[in-house]
Amino acid sequence: MRGLEQAIRDTARELLANGRVRLVLGYREGSVPFRTTPAFIRTPEEVDRLVWNPFCANNLAVYLPAAVGAGGCIAVVAKGCDARSIVTLVQEHQVPRERVVILGVPCTGMADPARLAGGDGSLHGTPVTWDGEG
C-alpha cells in the first residue's frame, strides 16, 4: 500500500510541477483516528500530505463540477466506483473530460471506521494499528 501511496504522490507532484493540472483532489489524514479527509493539493510542496489507505472512502467526484468550474485541469484520485461517478459527470456534461486527469487506484475494499470502538484505535477491545501495509 505504501508503494501505491508513493506512486500517487510522485504522479501528483509531476502533474503540478509541469503545469498539466492546477489542482489534485486526493486524501489526507483526518483529525480522528482511522479517518481521512479530502485534500486539495495546489503545489508540488503539498503533495506529501496525500495518503492512500483503507480509510480513503470519500467519493472525490462530488468536488469535480465546482473544481473544474474554476478553470484549468484537475487531477483526481479515483477508486473504481469513483471513476464510474466521474464517467457519469462527463456523460451528463457536468465535467468536460479534457479537463480531468484520473489517477486510478485499485480498491480491495474500504475499512469501516464505525466498527472502531469509540474512535480510540481499538476494535471490540483489541488494539488496531495501521502500519501502511494493513
**Which of the four pLDDT bands, split at 50, 70 and 90, describes residue 35?**
confident
H or E element in which residue 5 lies: helix 2-17
**Is residue 77 scored above 70 in pLDDT?**
yes
Q: pLDDT > 70: what percent of the chain?
A: 82
Of 101, 63, 106, 98, nearest to 81 by C-alpha is 106
| pLDDT for 8 | 96
Q: Indicate the burial class of 113 (C-beta count within 10 angstroms; 0-12, 13-18, 19 or more).
A: middle
